[in-house]
Amino acid sequence: MIIGHIGARAGSKGVPNKNFRMLHGKHLIDWSLDQLFDSDRVDHVVVSTDSEEIHAHAIKRGCRDIGLRPAALATDTAAKWHVWQHALAEVEKQTGPADAFLDLDCTSPLRLPQDIDAGLDLFARAQPDMVMSCCESRKNPYFNMLETDQNGALQVSKPLPHGVVARQQAPMVYDHVGLVYVVKPAYLRTAQRLFEGHVIPLIVPNERGLDVDSPFDWDVIAFLLGRQIAEGLRAPA
């Protein structure tokens, strides 16, 4: 049994009320909710939120009702991990033990259904504690990410003894992106932090790995989502 989860806090400093803001004719959260409801692999869908408006919307859409999240989990410093733990515990009170906990960030609406299937397939095949979506990073701390030293001079963030003169020579690094997370429930119940166990990457294309954190991000994602709709990759509202 797979629980599909979306976390949607009411507050946002970068883009106010972004999770419920309209994007191409839908609330931002609905681009992700639709994917969970459309998947024949997801048995139960739940939204964790501190917003009465988003909570009512989620219940109307057919999500499991776990009430509003506790105040301690509604701050901008609350850990995603603890939000997941609370949601899993509340849903399992209604459904019994889950086989997988699938989380989609609603601020990453460019994911496609095949990204969800790829995450679930990798989780079933490799049997890790967690699958996390990642993109190949455009900047690399071994090559072109810089820091200033005590004298204010620029230095490579993670210098290697032999030096790196081309990006291809640097170790591969990844950006953590919010398209898909698949977590083993036993791990989620007992671990204290996300990277405590065996967490493996699901590599997704950079053009789908963007998330909304600023008005600029919103504009870029609106453009790319519009292109997905025009190309028939996404159904319009």
Question: Domains in the chain, ordered, with CATH?
Answer: 2-137+173-230 (3.90.550.10), 138-172 (no CATH)
What is the average per-residue pLDDT within 114-127?
Answer: 98
Question: What is the rounded average pLDDT for all residues in the chain?
Answer: 94
Instruction: Please give the torsion angle defined by the CA atoms of residues 220, 225, 228 and 234, in that order, rounded to the nearest 10 degrees.
Output: 170
**pLDDT for the residue 181:** 98
pLDDT of residue 111: 98
Average of pLDDT values for 130-156?
93
List, in order, residues 6 or more apart from 94 with CB less than 8 Å away.
44, 64
Q: What percent of the chain has pLDDT over 70?
A: 100
Q: What integer pLDDT is reported at residue 167 of this predicted model?
A: 77
pLDDT exceeding 90 applies to what percent of the chain? 83
The pLDDT tens digits for 48-64 are: 999 999 999 999 999 99
Output the pLDDT for position 78.
86
Residue 146 identity (one-letter amino acid): L
Picking from 77-91, 166-180, 188-202, 211-225, which range would have the lowest pLDDT averaged per residue?
166-180
Asked if the model's pLDDT at residue 129 lies above 90, the reply is yes
Query: How big is the chain by its Cα radius of gyration, in Å?
Result: 19
Q: How far is CA 23 from CA 133, 149, 215, 218, 224, in A?
A: 23, 43, 13, 9, 12
Output the pTM of the full model: 0.94
- Confirm if 3 and 44 have CB atoms less than 8 A apart: yes
Enclosing H/E stretch for 90: helix 80-95
